[in-house]
Structure 1
Amino acid sequence: MILAHENASDNTAQDTDAEHQAFREEARSWIDQNAPKHLKSHLETSVFGKINTGDENPLAACKAWQRKKAEAGWAALMWPKEYGGRGATPMESIIWSQEEGVYSELTYPFVIGTGMCGPTMIAYATEEQKKRYLPKLASGEEVWCQLFSEPGSGSDLAGLRTKAVKDGDDWVINGQKIWTSEAHHSDYGILITRTDPTVAKHKGLTMFFVDMRSEGVDVRPIKQINGGSSFNEVYFENVRIPDTQRLGEVGDGWNVSLTTLMNERMAIGGIIATGVPEMIDLIQDLLVDNGKAIERSDVRARLAEYYTKATGLKNAGVRSINLVAKGGIPGPENSIGKLVAGELMQDLAKYVMDLQGFAALIDDPDIAVGNSRFQAMLMRSPAVRIEGGTDQILRNIISERVLGLPAEMRADKGLAFNEIPTGNS
């Protein structure tokens, strides 16, 4: 996913006290003096799912910007300073994201690390491990991925079959993960495994972090419909992980994973580019029925609907950030943001392409209407509605854990994992 950005100047009026205004001015000044301005025109034409850095290597450009931010204390803002953060407040984090604007596109390879893996390490790693790994994660020197989904257990994460068997002071890992974003660029990953198949499926899991260059780790990029390969298959064949790299207690991996998943939905829901700003730009000049699209009442009504949802998502994100700042952890309500954002982006992309008519068939950014942003958005949107939990799973979470409705019936409830019927049994 490509990060959504706003016009920073539109947000200055929101600063109601001198401290926030001073922080905004400091951030704006630093960005003006340090941002890679030679990349701005390219970044502004990035399409959903791909970072445009011109002739410059995208990963190298992203790492350079992340490193520069970290050196000045602008990376992973809300993390403690000793782990590479700034100890910033939620409002300061929001102000920074507004001011970073289009350059936030360059943070894409680090979203999983800073938004999901980092919080899990902060919660469960040893103090020595935190000081070793977190600063390099925040600075982009080391990229992290999340090794959760498997071919037979994507939405049903607790049904995973990747095994970890204790051998002395090590664990031996065998299995397969899939749809692992950025695994091909990653140095480390957090890995959930099954360590006890004789208990209920949620009880026999254990979490680790793993060096992605370990012997026996095989990463294979998956070609996507949009031409990119940000997802990967990852195979583990007799991979040895020391017990010191275990996160949480043996058998408590499900609870550890909830920390990751709740942070994931907050991170993903807050950065999905819904397409509303791009739609506003496009319909100003797009000709339909011998007039501009913006002049049609039905188009304005649809835009108002999309804008209202996008604004709600923004406000919900602010609320979640404030909850975390008060010592809480992201809750199940963050599933709402991810669910709404995914549906909104896909629906908006379809609608705008309908407005374009036959012109929507052209997907060359150099000649297509709107630089083919909506074509790219539409091709990437099915993945958005799967990654981080499918729509169906998110609705279950919302109904059961937010609204308190009765839990869905489960045929495997109370059964040991190795007693659950499968298609092969």
Structure 2
Amino acid sequence: MNLDWSDEETAFAAEMRDILAHALTPELRAGAEGATSVYPDHHVSMDWQARLHAEGLAAPHWLPEHGGRDWTPAQYYLYARERARAGAPSVSPMGIHMVAHVIAAFGTDEQRAYFLPRILTGEVFFCQGYSEPGSGSDLASLQMSAVPDGDDFLLNGSKIWTTHASEANWIFCLVRTSKHERPQQGITFLLVPMDQPGVTVRPLTMISGEQIQAEVFFDDARSARSNVIGEVDRGWTVAKYLLEFERGGSAHAPALAMRVDSLARQAGETMAGDQVFAQKLARARIRVDILEMIELKLLSGAGQGESVGVMASMLKIMSTELAQHITELACEAAGPAGLAFQPHAGMPGAEVPVHVVPADGYVTGEPWQAIAPLRYFNERAGSIYAGSNEIQRNILAKAVLGL
């Protein structure tokens, strides 16, 4: 594997750097720097998506006929690296990075024509309806029902841990349309409008104080049969396809490298001369480098038509556990100043209803010290969402090691 970038690739990276520098405003940079979770402030995220869309860069990984770019795998990676280096905020992955892929692959021409352009502009904003109160890692045991009623399905049940349900106007759901001996059978992948009678969103307050996630209740809600993606009762195949993108469909190493570099600068005073902490930071850098080598290897394979496949599980484990470790180091560096609950020091990803902001906006310590524990709390979910890391290890043990 040749790790040297060609002259054309180096020029491409410089072009992306210039475009990103022009598109990023001080407010957007502040939103990224002050983010307390994996999701930035909703308005920051949507503003950034609109600016990227104006440059034709909101979804370069899509097929060109759907609004993407005809790039090489190396160009995708370089774009991710430059975006991380520029300090850009993220965009919500539910639409652009997740459900759009299954609509493109399994949807009808009419579904692609309606949803894909609107996902790009943000007119259609999706949340994900997979987990239920009794069906998390054992997703196939889900019970939310969809019963045919004329041209519609009648929906009853609930979903939980639904990120950005309060902002979304559509939700993509796995629903039970029939019962079989194998629970994976009889599941359908269905798009459901949120703005209708019978859909109730109840925000959940996370340990960070933010209300990013919610429970969603469906009481005789409706969705047209034309909103089924793929075939009725065969949604499990669609769901597995989507999870490849949720678990390992993007480059994680560039953003994690920037987080380690940022922590090294921030901790320069609080941890100066602490050789043990310096060693921990060095080990984190090494882990980022290892992840980058694996991503580059998979990138090289993708250039030859190979699929990420089961390696998505390995990337999911490595990236989420490394992200958690970086937040642990940040809390250690923040010290006592990080003990106070001060979400106003940053830009939380959602409402923080239990917090009263001081009249003068005072923050104990530096803002990064106040943000560190909030990021720590939010990253605890990383090893659970998209299939718990224990499940991912089982997948690797079976598919790679043959156990």
Name the TM tier (shorter chain).
Answer: 0.7 to 0.9
Instruction: Report the secondary structure of 1:206's partner residue.
Output: strand
Q: Against the structure 1 CA distance between its residues 362 and 212, is the aligned structure 2 distance closer, same or farther, given a 3 Å change threshold? A: same
Task: Please report how far the alpha carbon of residue 392 of structure 1 lies from its aligned counterpart in structure 2 after TM superposition.
Answer: 1.7
Q: 1:107 to 1:361 in 2, by over 3 A?
A: closer
Q: For residues 195 and 95 of structure 2, what CA distance do their matches in structure 1 show?
A: 17
Secondary structure, aligned partner of 1:73: coil
1:128 to 88, 110, 120: 110
Point out the more displaced range, 126-135 or 373-382.
373-382
Which residue of 1 is the match for residue 355 of structure 2? none
**After superposition, what is the alpha-carbon deviation per residue over 1:74-105, rounded to whole angstroms, capped at 9, x for unaligned?**
11102122212222222222222222236665
Amino acid at match of 2:383: R
Letter in 2 for 1:368: G
SS at match of 2:143: coil
| Structure 1 residue matching 2:269: 3-state secondary structure | coil
Alpha-carbon distance change, 185 to 102 in structure 1, aligned in 2, over 3 angstroms: farther
Retained in 2: the 8 A contact 1:44–1:102?
Answer: no
Local SS of the residue matching 1:183: coil
Call closer, same or farther: CA 1:389–1:242 in 2, change over 3 Å.
same
Alignment equivalent of 1:248, drawn from 230, 247, 250: 230
Cα separation, 1, equivalents of 2:26 and 2:200 = 37
SS in 1 for 2:190: strand
Q: C-alpha separation between the residues in 1 aligned to 2:299 and 2:217?
A: 35
What is the CA distance between 1:225 and its match in structure 2? Answer: 1.4
TM-superposition CA deviations, 1:135-188 (whole Å, max 9, x none): 221232321122101000000000100111122332211111101111221122
Structure 1 residue 314 corresponds to structure 2 residue 303: no
Secondary structure of 1:184 counterpart: coil
- Code of the residue aligned with 1:292 in structure 2: it is G
The range that moved more, 98-107 or 81-90, is: 98-107
1:23 is aligned to 2:6: no
Deviates more, 1:164-173 or 1:118-127: 164-173
Within a 5 Å distance, the mapping from 1:29-40 to structure 2 comes to: 29-40=18-29
Q: Which residue of 1 aligns with 2:212?
A: 230
Correspondence list, 1:331-346, <5 A: 331-346=309-324
Task: Indicate conservation of the 8 Å contact 1:49/1:228, yes or no.
Answer: no
Residue 255 of structure 1: how far off its partner (Å): 1.0
For 1:306-335, what per-residue CA distance to the aligned partner results, in whole angstroms no more than 9, with x for missing partners? 112122223333444555565555412211
Q: In 1, distance between residues paired with 2:13 and 2:154?
A: 49
Distance 2:170 2:303 in 1: 27
**1:71 counterpart (36, 46, 54):** 54
* Match in the other structure for 2:395: 397
Q: Distance in 2 between matches of 1:322 and 1:131?
A: 32
Q: In structure 2, give the amino acid aligned to 1:79.
A: W
SS of residue paired to 2:148:
strand
CA contact under 8 A between 2:338 and 2:371: conserved in structure 1?
no
Residues 386-395 or 40-49, more deviating: 40-49
- Alpha carbons 2:48, 2:91 under 8 Å: kept: no
- Counterparts in 2 of 1:72-151, with a 5 A limit? 72-101=55-84, 105-109=88-92, 111-151=93-133
Q: 2:384 aligns with which of 386, 398, 402?
A: 386
Residue aligning to 1:172: 154
Q: How does 1:352-367 map to 2 (within 5 A)?
A: 352-364=330-342, 365=345, 366-367=363-364
- Paired with 1:267 and 1:97, the residues of 2 have a C-alpha distance of 12
Cα separation, partners in 2 of 1:38 and 1:246, compared to 1, 3 Å: closer
Distance 1:173 1:326, change over 3 A: farther
What pairs with 1:196-275 in structure 2 (closer than 5 Å)?
Answer: 196-267=178-249, 270=252, 273=256, 275=259
Segments of structure 2 that go 5 or more residues without pairing to the other structure are 346-362
Evaluate the alpha carbon distance shift between residue 360 and residue 107 of structure 1 in structure 2; reply closer, same or farther with a 3 A threshold.
closer
One-letter code aligned to 1:349:
T
Aligned-partner Cα distance in 2 for 1:375–1:63: 25
Shift of 1:49: 4.5
Report what 1:292 is aligned to: 273
Quote how far apart the aligned CAs of 1:48 are: 3.4
Rounded Cα–Cα distance in structure 1 between residues aligned with 2:120 and 2:4: 27
Task: Give the partner amino acid of 1:278.
Answer: S
Which structure would you say has the larger RCO, counting Cα contacts within 8 Å and 6 or more residues apart? Answer: 2
Would the alpha carbon gap of residues 82 and 195 (structure 1) be closer, same or farther in structure 2, given more than 3 Å must change?
same
Is 1:159 matched up with 2:141?
Answer: yes
SS at match of 1:239: strand
Q: Distance in 1 between matches of 2:325 and 2:337?
A: 18
Count matched residues.
379
Sequence identity percentage:
28
Letter in 1 for 2:73: P
Distance 2:107 2:87 in 1: 28
Deviations 1:370-412 (A, max 9, x none): 433421222112222221112221221121123221xxxxxxx
CA gap 1:260/1:304 in 2 versus in 1, 3 angstroms: same
The aligned counterpart of 1:190 is 172
Aligned residue in 2 for 1:6: none
The answer on whether the counterparts of 1:269 and 1:337 sit within 8 Å (CA) in structure 2 is no
The question of whether the paired residues in 2 share the 8 Å contact of 1:49 and 1:380 is answered with: yes
Aligned-partner Cα distance in 2 for 1:357–1:321: 39
CA contact 2:29–2:89 (8 Å) conserved in 1: no
